[in-house]
Amino acid sequence: MRSVHKGLDYFCKFMEIVIFLIMVVMTFSTSAQVLGRYVMKVPFPWTEELSRRLMAYLLFLAAPVAYRKGGMIGIDILTSLLPVKIRKIIAVATNILVGAFGGFMIWQGHIMALRSGRQISSALGISMQYIYTAIPICGILLIVFALELMIKDITGQEKEKLKEDVSS
């Protein structure tokens, strides 16, 4: 399990780099749109669509990474009052629900990607299938990370340890 955890650490570091690069490209695209529209008075038609598509990928790639790191929104006030055993059961149940949602994303995202294969984006001229592929990718990552966190919860390793491992 330790080697799998270490491999997922490296994968998350890689994903963080990809997410950062997406943000950089989005920033340049949005800046080009603003400069083109207001400074040069000639808007670029592709910049706005590129930014929207990259935002979708950014969200669908960053959400599983944030989930793995414990960065998703949660309400700890109620669960902190419960006994440790019940908290562990709730954590495992939450991970099962997240994994099930990931499975749903794979299923429905795959259907959406297949149905949009012939649809071409207006400004970029690429198949929308590439855009919708972000949904099943997010689902796969959610399942993998939910399984990892569930195993950690069952074996007694806490998410705080995971946060320390990722930051080092």
Domain count, the chain: 1
The predicted structure's pLDDT at residue 158: 57
Closest CA to 148 of 62, 60, 65: 65
Q: Is 127 helix (H, G, I), strand (E, B) or coil?
A: strand
pLDDT at position 162 over 70: no
Return the CA Rg of the chain.
Answer: 19
Name the band, by pLDDT with cuts 50, 70 and 90, for residue 82: confident
- Confidence grade of residue 23 (pLDDT, cut at 50, 70, 90): very high
If one compares 19 and 160, the residue with the highest pLDDT of the two is 19
86 residue type, one letter: I
Per-residue pLDDT tens for 109-152? Answer: 999 999 988 889 888 888 899 999 999 999 999 999 999 999 98
pLDDT in tens, 25-80: 999 999 999 998 888 888 888 888 999 999 999 999 999 999 999 887 776 777 78
Predicted structure pTM score:
0.82
Domain ranges, residue 148: 2-167
